[in-house]
Amino acid sequence: MTNVLVVAELAQGKSRKTTLSAVAFAKTVTEATGGSFDILAIGADAESAAEELTGFGAGKVLTAEIEGDYICESYAPTVAEVAKEYGVVVACASTFGKDLMPRVATKIGAGVASDISKVSVEGDELHYTRPMYAGNVFGTMKVTTDIQVVTVRQSEFEPAAPSGGSSSVESVDVVDADCEGKIESLGIEVVESERPDLGEADVVVSGGRSLKSAENFENVLEPLVDALGAAMGASRAAVDAGYVPNELQVGQTGKVVAPKLYVAVGISGAIQHLAGMKGSKVIVAINKDKEAPIAQVADYFLVADLFDAVPAMTEAVKKAKAAG
């Protein structure tokens, strides 16, 4: 029997969708082992965020109110203390999870399985599958410490759906940070957008260096993005060229996404980019080069000049919406 603690990721007093991928992992493990799982909501307005997490089948939702912006060194002692009661502690492999969980593991002397894409239960052991070498190789591993710390790929664990019922909510004591007075948060800049979040969108339209300028991203690509109700992404080459900010980067060193539809415009498909999007359900690529590597993973590959194809596609989408 393995009991699991899910560490929720909060933003502006609400739980982020990334949390539900970690809940999906917890359900898989506990259903196979006969254990149970709890959820820890930690941070500012944790009690408010906890209410929306009570309907996912957790034994209980724990809250730890920590005022101010997220600081890893402030959160880790409390998470580590709570984690001592569980066999597995899990968070999504988002920026939050990748930052927090290694420090938690260090504090409790736990082994780590990071960025996993699958978990299987064999006897009384958990086996974790994770991508390596930009997803060209998958390795299987196990963690042998008493407590296991895990981060899961959001793109590989379908967000858990509400399962009915209502978990109890309990508060836990906040452990003093070991960096008290040594670290100061200067603030968080939140970019407000009417478009869906890149990591959570059902449709993503990404542009590459072939768009040639920030103006072309705005005038050529964005109309298609908005017509599809999509999130906008970009290749690293486009980000490095300064066409778009780095929070839009999709790939091995950017965000890993797996939407229902991924449209790649003017992206050749280097393995680092493919590592961030090849889990998408349907992939559409537009490129002048019929030998572009992205053709190997695309479900639909249009050999065309993007400056002709994208405006035509945008108009077609608008007409279809108007008619429908």
CATH code for position 141: 3.40.50.620
The pLDDT of residue 134: 74
Structural domain contains residue 187: no
Confidence band for 211, pLDDT divided at 50, 70 and 90:
very high
Polymer length of the chain: 324
| Mean local confidence (pLDDT), 68-89 | 95
- Tell me if residue 284 falls in helix, strand or coil: strand
The pLDDT of residue 135: 76
- Tell me if residue 194 falls in helix, strand or coil: coil
Contacts of 116 (CB under 8 A, 6+ apart): 93, 128, 129, 130, 150, 151, 152, 153, 156
d(CA 22, CA 93): 9
| Total count of domains within the chain | 2
Same domain flag for 158 and 252: no
Same domain flag for 66 and 144: yes
| Mean local confidence (pLDDT), 188-192 | 69
Structural domain contains residue 198: no
The pLDDT of residue 155: 85
Same domain flag for 153 and 38: yes
Same domain flag for 132 and 254: no
Same domain flag for 23 and 148: yes
Q: Is the pLDDT of residue 193 over 80?
A: no
Can you give the CATH number for the domain in which 310 is found?
3.40.50.1220
The residue ranking higher by pLDDT, 226 or 256, is: 226
Domain boundary pick from 121, 147, 171 = 171
The answer for 25, left when phi > 0, alpha when psi is -120 to 50, beta otherwise, is alpha
Same domain flag for 217 and 272: yes
Structural domain contains residue 189: no
Average pLDDT, the chain: 93
d(CA 128, CA 142): 6
Same domain flag for 141 and 215: no
The residue ranking higher by pLDDT, 186 or 213, is: 213
Confidence band for 314, pLDDT divided at 50, 70 and 90:
very high
**pLDDT tens readout for residues 39-56:** 999 999 999 999 999 999
The residue ranking higher by pLDDT, 81 or 195, is: 81
Same domain flag for 159 and 214: no
The pLDDT of residue 190: 66
Amino acid at 110: A
- List the alpha helices (DSSP H) in the chain: 18-33, 46-51, 72-83, 95-108, 214-216, 222-227, 236-240, 271-274, 306-323
| Mean local confidence (pLDDT), 101-129 | 95
* Domain range enclosing 286: 203-323
Contacts of 246 (CB under 8 A, 6+ apart): 239, 254
Q: Is the pLDDT of residue 252 over 90?
A: no
Per-residue tokens: 206: 């990404």
Per-residue tokens: 214: 């920030």
The pLDDT of residue 202: 93
d(CA 152, CA 94): 8
| Mean local confidence (pLDDT), 3-29 | 94
Same domain flag for 230 and 160: no
Domain boundary pick from 171, 194, 221 = 171
Structural domain contains residue 197: no
Same domain flag for 15 and 161: yes
Q: Is the pLDDT of residue 181 over 90?
A: no
Structural domain contains residue 177: no
| Mean local confidence (pLDDT), 194-202 | 88
CB-based burial, 275-284: b 16+ in 10 Å, e otherwise: bbbbbbeebb
Structural domain contains residue 176: no
**pLDDT tens readout for residues 269-307:** 998 999 899 889 999 999 999 999 999 999 999 999 999
Structural domain contains residue 280: yes
Same domain flag for 163 and 219: no
Structural domain contains residue 302: yes
Q: Is the pLDDT of residue 324 over 90?
A: no
